[in-house]
């Protein structure tokens, strides 16, 4: 689903702005399956499984979710703009920040907005046609970042960009993974259904339903 979403974004004619927290949360959700079959299986707590039985999987998933929440709380402010190049974003951003803060100053790819309490630098990823506005330093104003995000979102809504051909590759990867999953499930659907049922029952017992 993550590959399909990125492919659809890159094939659209509009840039997409998301906050750093939403971007990391989506990535964490996309990687959750790999975490389950990777680190969770590798470091599976056998003693806890013997003691708690099938409850251990909801506990492990809750631990992963809390780890992601902790990471989100510790992250500095960041904005991610998909489906746009740095060359196209920079002049648009320059006009915008002049309206938000007349004392705005550029130094290379770094930008200081003292009136908003925001200091950032541009991180451009030409291969993915994605630009990140990353906070520079720990002294940041969250309200200033929110004002910048709102204004930039309105400005991007009026922009039209060319479709990114790499979106086809992302869509193809998503479809290929989905077909592999469907084929794997079709070989032994009963085992998959039983596994899912056990996890759901354990979760419901934990919450007292």
Three-state DSSP string of 8-71: HHHHCCCCEEEEHHHHHHHHHHHHHHHHHHHHHHHCCCHHHHHHHHHHHHHHHHHHHHHHHHHH
Distance from C-alpha of 24 to C-alpha of 32, rounded to nearest angstrom: 12
CB 53 within 8 A of CB 206: no
Question: What is 2-157's CATH topology?
Answer: TATA-Binding Protein (3.30.310)
Q: Where are the domains of the chain?
A: 2-157
Q: Is 112 helix (H, G, I), strand (E, B) or coil?
A: strand
pLDDT at residue number 53: 65
Tokens representing 121 are 């630098």
Distance from C-alpha of 135 to C-alpha of 121, rounded to nearest angstrom: 7
Per-residue DSSP letters for 134-176? EE-SS---HHHHHHHHHHHHHHHHT---PPPTHHHHHHHHHHH
pLDDT at residue number 207: 53
Residue pLDDT, tens place only, 7-59: 888 888 888 899 888 888 988 888 888 887 787 777 777 676 666 666 777 77
Global pTM value:
0.75
* Positions in the chain whose pLDDT score sits under 50: 209
CB 123 within 8 A of CB 135: no
Return the number of other C-beta atoms located less than 10 Å from residue 75's C-beta: 14
pLDDT at residue number 164: 82
Tokens representing 9 are 């974004």
Distances in whole angstroms, Cα of residue 58 to Cα of each of 24, 48, 95, 166: 22, 12, 49, 37
Tokens representing 192 are 């998959």
Tokens representing 183 are 């084929």
């Amino acid at each position: 689903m993550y590959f399909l979403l990125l492919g659809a974004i890159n094939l659209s004619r509009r840039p997409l702005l998301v906050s750093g927290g939403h971007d990391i949360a989506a990535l964490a959700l996309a990687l959750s399956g790999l975490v389950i079959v990777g680190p969770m299986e590798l470091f599976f707590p056998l003693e806890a499984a013997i003691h708690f039985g099938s409850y251990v999987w909801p506990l492990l998933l809750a631990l992963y979710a809390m780890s992601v929440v902790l990471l989100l709380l510790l992250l500095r402010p960041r904005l991610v703009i998909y489906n746009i190049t740095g060359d196209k974003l920079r002049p648009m951003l320059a006009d915008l920040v002049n309206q938000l803060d007349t004392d705005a100053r550029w130094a290379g790819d770094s930008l200081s907005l003292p009136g908003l309490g925001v200091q950032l630098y541009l991180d451009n990823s030409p291969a993915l046609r994605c630009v990140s506005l990353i906070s520079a330093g720990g002294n940041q104003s969250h309200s200033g970042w929110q004002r910048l995000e709102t204004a930039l979102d309105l400005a991007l809504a009026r922009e039209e960009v060319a479709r990114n051909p790499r979106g086809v590759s992302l869509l193809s990867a998503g479809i290929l993974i989905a077909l592999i999953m469907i084929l794997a499930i079709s070989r032994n659907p009963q085992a998959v259904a039983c596994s899912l049922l056990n996890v759901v029952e354990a979760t419901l017992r934990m919450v007292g339903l």
